[in-house]
Amino acid sequence: MPPPADSRYRRRWLAGALFLCVVVSAWAAENRPTSFSQLTTLNGSGWQPLHFPHIDRHTTYRLVTDHGQQVVEAHTQDSASGLIYPLRLEPGRHVLIHWRWKISNTFARGDARHRDGDDYPARIYVTFAYQPQRATFWQKLKRKTATLLYGGTLPGSALNYIWANRLPKGDLIANAYTAQTQMIAVESGDRLAGHWVSETRDLVADYEKAFGYPPPAITGIAIMSDSDNTGGTATAWYGDIRLETTADGDRKGDGAATSSPVAITRQPSR
């Protein structure tokens, strides 16, 4: 059973603060995430376990082979934790992020518009550097509190690419806990559950659409499958995550304006 609501909300705020702290406190030597398909073990790969305060049940992550390809399998059962890859990448005109994923199911009680439904079978989390000139007084106060609690240097904003439970595909909304994290429903519902789906997004265009101004440096990439708010159970599989920077006028895709995300490529297969 999920814990009492006030306890969940409190620990979620703390978890968010710790997540941001961990992402920036140990930047990796490489500014691109290590491919899951090339690993022999997750330990020492640059992908680091992410455990949240006061959440004792952790999502499990392991390397598995699926249809001849090595991927990461995540299993969540009333649990929450992630894998993060700290990095530092100054965005150019366009930064494309490519990945593929698969889920077993979404959560009946999951809903991105409400705090008690803020669980997802799969998500890609991208964090960005802190910009003090854009922070409100309350954001600065919360940041100062989190820094005093956990130390380190915290980034400021994040994009969350989610496989949504019921939020319509294509919708962009603020996270139920903080407007500094914006949620983009790349997929939604169970229609493609059990199928691999390949995605491509333009981080710069998505950030500008979500926040209204160009992004600062990218500071981390994470995968996360969580169900501690809803008490649900799901399995997700994550393929390689690849970042691609393109020069001005060299954007790949449909040639749309930079304020619009590139088209999503779907390649469902069993």
> For the residues 229-244, what does the mean pLDDT come to?
97
The first and second tokens of residue 182, run together, are: 């914006």
CB 15 within 8 A of CB 52: yes
Per-residue pLDDT band at 116 (split at 50, 70, 90): very high
Helix (H) or strand (E) holding 48: strand 48-50
The first and second tokens of residue 137, run together, are: 């007084």
C-alpha angle 214-30-62 in degrees, rounded to nearest 5:
105
Rounded Cα gap, residues 53 and 15, in angstroms: 6
Give percent of the chain with pLDDT exceeding 90.
61
Domains of the chain (ranges, CATH numbers): 5-246 (2.60.120.260)
The first and second tokens of residue 157, run together, are: 């904003």
Give percent of the chain with pLDDT exceeding 70.
70
Q: What are the pLDDT digits (tens) for 123-164?
A: 999 999 865 556 565 555 565 555 555 455 555 689 999 999
Task: Considering only residues 266 and 256, tell me which one the structure prediction assigns the higher pLDDT.
Answer: 266
Q: What residues form DSSP beta bridges with 102?
A: 237
> For the residues 195-213, what does the mean pLDDT come to?
97
Q: Is the pLDDT of residue 228 over 60?
A: yes
For the chain, helix, strand, coil in percent to 5 are: 20, 35, 45
Q: Is the pLDDT of residue 53 over 90?
A: no
Q: What are the pLDDT digits (tens) for 10-49?
A: 445 444 544 444 444 444 445 789 999 999 999 999 999 8
Whole-number pLDDT of residue 14:
43
